[in-house]
Structure 1
């Protein structure tokens, strides 16, 4: 991953966005869904990421009666001072929409519909409606399905620093976790991605270390945390047990290398850690590495 090692400062405000760590219990333990972005993508081209994207204006304009949780509950779950209810709703809708657009998964769909195969028919109808200009939320509502925002649990909030280390765009991204809907098959959007793959967090980090896939720092550190959990139930329990962690990386240059530190690191302005494990990544050997190498990431 080529990164700009410079002292430029981005003055534009970060774009609100949402991403979803879709998890399932695999044969050997927890697995998470990753999609590889097209190499010509304007953001993180060729990198394996969790499905997600920017908050659209239409995401804020959903009928509250169509949600299976109230706006007040969604606002409380995000635990962000100053956040308004419409944006809280919009971030949850963006998470549902982007997961569908990038992976064809309808999160929160009733298990009987997924098991019977009706999800494929419903997904095709949602896609058909959106192609005619009907928004995702309205398309789901037209089919008589709830907008299952309750399927999403806030996990963390990542705010891109003003000094770039990976991309020259800034994002204020809310990370959610969601259990993979039983009976549905993930398939990548050919316009935005080149593959969708289920990997254990450990396998994803091992493949990254071997140079087989590329990951950005938020994915590296999130996989590091997921790798310490045994399965979907434990992931959900952790998400419910505390407010989402605010992560504002602070980059600096040391010995010609870019270092990104996180809360709890001696160089970070917030000395209280928000996770177990490494608190910094250093860009060397054409990748971001934790002190202690792969073993530190794997815990």
Structure 2
């Protein structure tokens, strides 16, 4: 998608988004790319969105959603790596540690809500935040130190929803608990673990395919996803969808 004009991006994404939205500022969002090594290959978790959704209907996506600033106040067992915190926060006046924490924790919360997967450690944990009560009930304290910044993408103008999304990754081994019936929401109709080559051929949004391709290339050189590795940032600039490394 790098270098496409706005018209070209609109054509590519016409089946992913409802077009024609009013001008709006993109909202912070986070999505979690959960990876699993299985018999020499890397698999990724995807879930299919309901076809009634205006945003990416019927597509396979990563668990994720809009960031709740209140998530920044959740006590964690381990903080973000400083290099990851800096890049998740972004730049400008809003680039604060609290913003990075909120974005990262929203990715963990969404993985629970949509997929029933709790990333953390089995430790005593208490909270009054209703979005995190299940973690407390199961005795799991969320942890951020294993999260890696994989990509960032801002939804182009002219959509009914716009998000400034951070794509974060974690490994299945970082999951402290997998609920057998999945998460409490009905955002995703089915969950599948697919090898990366198969995931790239699935019914996924264009930006998801772009990010997966970037991640596959990174894993070849850095199979453990070391902290601080360069990652792409996609956004519309001067009527072109551009990619820069951050």
**TM value normalised by structure 2:** 0.76
> Does the C-alpha gap of structure 1 residues 60 and 16 become closer, same or farther in structure 2, counting only changes over 3 Å?
same
Identify unmatched segments of 5+ residues in structure 1: 114-121, 209-213, 253-259, 264-272, 276-299
Which residue of the partner structure matches residue 242 of structure 1? 229
Q: Distance in 1 between the 2:182 and 2:223 partners?
A: 27
> Does the C-alpha gap of structure 1 residues 138 and 73 become closer, same or farther in structure 2, counting only changes over 3 Å?
farther
Shift in Å, 1:86: 1.8
Find out whether 1:216 has 2:187 as its counterpart. Answer: no
Alignment RMSD (CA, Å): 3.6
Q: Distance in 2 between the 1:137 and 1:232 partners?
A: 36
Deviations 1:111-149 (A, max 9, x none): xx9xxxxxxxx9xxx9xx99xx84234553565533211
Find out whether 1:156 has 2:147 as its counterpart. Answer: no
> Does the C-alpha gap of structure 1 residues 73 and 229 become closer, same or farther in structure 2, counting only changes over 3 Å?
closer
Q: Distance in 1 between the 2:200 and 2:104 partners?
A: 27
Shift in Å, 1:15: 1.1
Deviations 1:9-35 (A, max 9, x none): 742100111001000102241110000
Q: Distance in 2 between the 1:3 and 1:251 partners?
A: 22
Which residue of the partner structure matches residue 172 of structure 1? 164
Q: Distance in 2 between the 1:105 and 1:80 partners?
A: 27
Find out whether 1:228 has 2:217 as its counterpart. Answer: yes
Q: How many residues align?
A: 228
Q: Distance in 1 between the 2:111 and 2:221 partners?
A: 18
Which residue of the partner structure matches residue 280 of structure 1? none
Is the partner of 1:75 in helix, strand or coil?
Answer: helix
Shift in Å, 1:107: 1.3
Which residue of the partner structure matches residue 80 of structure 1? 90
Q: Which has the higher strand share?
A: 2
Q: Distance in 2 between the 1:102 and 1:3 partners?
A: 19
> Does the C-alpha gap of structure 1 residues 199 and 55 become closer, same or farther in structure 2, counting only changes over 3 Å?
same
> Does the C-alpha gap of structure 1 residues 37 and 251 become closer, same or farther in structure 2, counting only changes over 3 Å?
farther
- Asked if structure 2 preserves the Cα contact closer than 8 Å seen for 1:58 and 1:135, the reply is no
RCO (CA 8 Å, sep 6+): is it higher in 1 or 2?
Answer: 2
Which residue of the partner structure matches residue 145 of structure 1? 140
